[in-house]
C-alpha cells in the first residue's frame, strides 16, 4: 500500500494554463506539506496544513492555492503557469506530534 | 536565520569503503530533530536516519551512523561498506516548531557517487 501518493507523476503544460496536483496519505497523519524542488535540487517548503487548516504559507505567489478537503488530502492548484514553476513538487505528511515526514513520489512539472 | 548547510555538493567513494557527509545547522531551539534523507534517481525521498537533539548517543541504522555534535551544531552521516545502491542525493534536515506546527528545513544536498 502506498503511504503518500501523488497524481499525476508527470505534467507537461503550456505557459498560462491552470493545473492541479493531488496528494493523498493513508497513514492517518494530521499534517501535510507541499514542497518545491528546483533544478538545483533545493527543497523548499511551500505550505503546511494541519487538520485541514493552513498553518504555514511560505510567501508563495498567490497563483498557488492549496486545498485540503479532509486531513488525508492536500491538493495544489496552480493558475497561470510560468516557466519558473517548472520543478518537482513533493507532498509529505506527518503526525502532528511525530518527528518524521513521509514523502510522496513527487510530481515533475514542466512548463513550456 | 534557520539554515542547514551541506558544504560538499558532491562526494565519491569506492565500493565497500566508508564516506562521511557533513552537515551543519543553525537554530536557537534546544529541542529539535535532525534527519538524513536519501533521494535516488527515482526521486523518492527516503528517510535514512534521524536523531533527537536531546539524546547524546549517536543514532545508528545498519551501515549508516551519525556523528552529532550539539554544541558545534554539526550532524554528519557516515556510510560504511558503501554499496552501489547508496548512490543518490543526500539531504540533511532538521525540524523546528513554528506557529504551532512543525517545519522542516533542508540543506542543499550532497550528491554521492559510488565507484565500482
Cα within 13 Å of Cα(B25), Cβ side: 30
Percentage of chain B exceeding pLDDT 70: 99
Residue B41 C-alpha cell reads as 534517481
- What is the rounded CA–CA span in Å between residue A27 and residue A101? 11
Given the C-alpha cell 557517487, which residue does it identify? B113
A99 touches chain B (CB under 8 A): yes
Residue A35 has pLDDT above 80, yes or no: yes
- Of the residues A99, A104, A108, the best mutation for testing chain B's interface (the one with the most B CB atoms within 10 Å of its CB) is A99
- What is the rounded CA–CA span in Å between residue A57 and residue A25? 20
pLDDT tens per residue across span A39-68: 888 899 999 888 888 888 887 899 999 999
Residue B1 C-alpha cell reads as 536565520
Out of B99, B102, B109, whose CB is closest to A94? B102
> What does B10-78 look like in DSSP terms, one character per residue?
EEEEETTS-EEE--EEE-S-SS-EEEEEEE-TT---EEEEEEETT--SPPEETTEEEEEETTTTEEEEE
The reply to whether residue B108 touches residue A40, judged by beta carbons under 8 angstroms, is: yes
Bridge-based pairing of strands A107-111 and A10-13 is parallel
pLDDT tens per residue across span B31-71: 889 999 999 988 889 999 999 888 889 999 999 999 999 99
The reply to whether residue A99 touches residue B33, judged by beta carbons under 8 angstroms, is: yes
Amino acid at each position: 500500500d502506498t503511504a503518500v501518493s501523488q497524481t499525476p507523476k508527470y505534467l507537461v503544460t503550456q505557459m498560462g494554463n491552470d493545473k492541479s496536483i493531488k496528494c493523498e496519505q493513508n497513514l492517518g497523519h494530521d499534517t501535510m506539506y507541499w514542497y518545491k524542488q528546483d533544478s538545483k535540487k533545493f527543497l523548499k517548503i511551500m505550505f503546511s496544513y494541519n487538520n485541514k487548516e493552513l498553518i504555514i504559507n511560505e510567501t508563495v505567489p498567490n497563483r498557488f492555492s492549496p486545498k485540503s478537503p479532509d486531513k488525508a488530502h492536500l491538493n495544489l492548484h496552480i493558475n497561470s503557469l510560468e516557466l519558473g514553476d517548472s520543478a518537482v513538487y513533493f507532498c509529505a505528511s506527518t503526525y502532528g506530534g511525530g518527528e518524521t515526514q513521509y514523502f510522496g513520489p513527487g510530481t515533475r512539472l514542466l512548463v513550456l | 536565520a534557520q539554515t542547514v548547510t551541506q558544504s560538499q555538493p558532491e562526494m565519491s567513494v569506492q565500493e565497500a569503503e566508508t564516506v562521511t557527509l557533513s552537515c551543519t545547522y543553525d537554530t536557537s531551539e534546544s529541542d529539535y530533530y535532525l534527519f538524513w534523507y536519501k533521494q535516488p534517481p527515482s526521486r523518492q525521498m527516503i528517510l535514512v536516519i534521524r536523531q533527537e537533539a536531546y539524546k547524546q548517543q549517536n543514532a545508528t541504522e545498519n551501515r549508516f551512523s551519525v556523528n552529532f555534535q550539539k554544541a558545534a551544531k554539526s550532524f554528519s552521516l557516515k556510510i560504511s561498506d558503501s554499496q552501489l545502491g547508496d548512490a543518490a542525493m543526500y539531504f540533511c534536515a532538521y525540524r523546528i516548531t513554528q506557529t504551532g506546527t512543525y517545519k522542516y528545513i533542508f540543506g542543499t544536498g550532497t550528491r554521492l557517487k559510488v565507484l565500482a
